[in-house]
Structure 1
Amino acid sequence: MTDSPAARAYKNFTPRLGIYRITHLPSGRSLIGWSLHLEGILNRSRFQLGLGGHPNKAMQRDWNADGQDAFRFEILDELKPSVPGDEPTEDLKELLALWQLQLALPPEQRY
């Protein structure tokens, strides 16, 4: 039995790892984080916000007040694992700390 093109594509899929940011444009408040699947975390956050169930209550309030167009979802940086299939969580945490230093967001601009 041969795999369909979609099944082969799924098996060969490698998620992008790295640092992401979600920004409420009117206030400048941002949530910065790391993920082993960047597209997945951004899609999940959009979905949770759209349903009204995001765990970050302050961000959810801003979404409810201003809507989707008031937010920017972006990938700030990507990390390529040195070994395919590796999950370099410690490297991602260090990369996140570097981005937090670089952006130097004051407390009132952080979620």
Structure 2
Amino acid sequence: MSIDRKAAIAAYKERKTIAGIYVVRCAASGQAWVGQAPNLETIQNRIWFSLRQGAHPCRSLQAAWKAHGEAGLAFGECERLEDEESAYVRNALLKERLLHWRDELKAEVV
């Protein structure tokens, strides 16, 4: 294995993940769904994959996907959290901010 490859693998393992709150909106229906994620950079792929498979646990979001398709839904970030050393503190903050954004956007939690 080359030194460059080893360095790339090490950098990948040490990268910082950005936790936060996201929103999925349906322009046609006006509906919105909010959720929390330990990694905002990967959550959209996870959501879209489960929706494509017809397996997303949120029935109303899955129904919007079925009715309007991928082009009918938009993904956005509401808030990024500062890096927390403690997973407990990060998780508590995510829950608190999720409730704030749910109320602010009059959205359903996914």
TM-score calculated relative to the size of structure 2: 0.81
Indicate the residue corresponding to 1:51 in structure 2.
53
1:90 Cα deviation from its structure 2 partner? 0.3
Counterpart residue type for residue 38 of structure 1: L
Q: How many residues align?
A: 105
TM-score calculated relative to the size of structure 1: 0.81
Counterpart residue type for residue 31 of structure 2: R
Taking the aligned partners of 2:84 and 2:60, their CA distance within structure 1 comes to 37
Indicate the residue corresponding to 2:14 in structure 1.
12
Q: Specify every segment of 5 or more residues in structure 2 that has no aligned partner in the other structure, as ranges.
A: none
1:3 Cα deviation from its structure 2 partner? 6.4
**Cα 1:37–1:62 shift into 2, 3 Å:** same
Q: Specify every segment of 5 or more residues in structure 1 that has no aligned partner in the other structure, as ranges.
A: none
RMSD of Structure 2 on Structure 1 (CA): 2.0
1:27 Cα deviation from its structure 2 partner? 0.8
Taking the aligned partners of 1:60 and 1:100, their CA distance within structure 2 comes to 18
Secondary structure of 1:81's aligned partner: coil
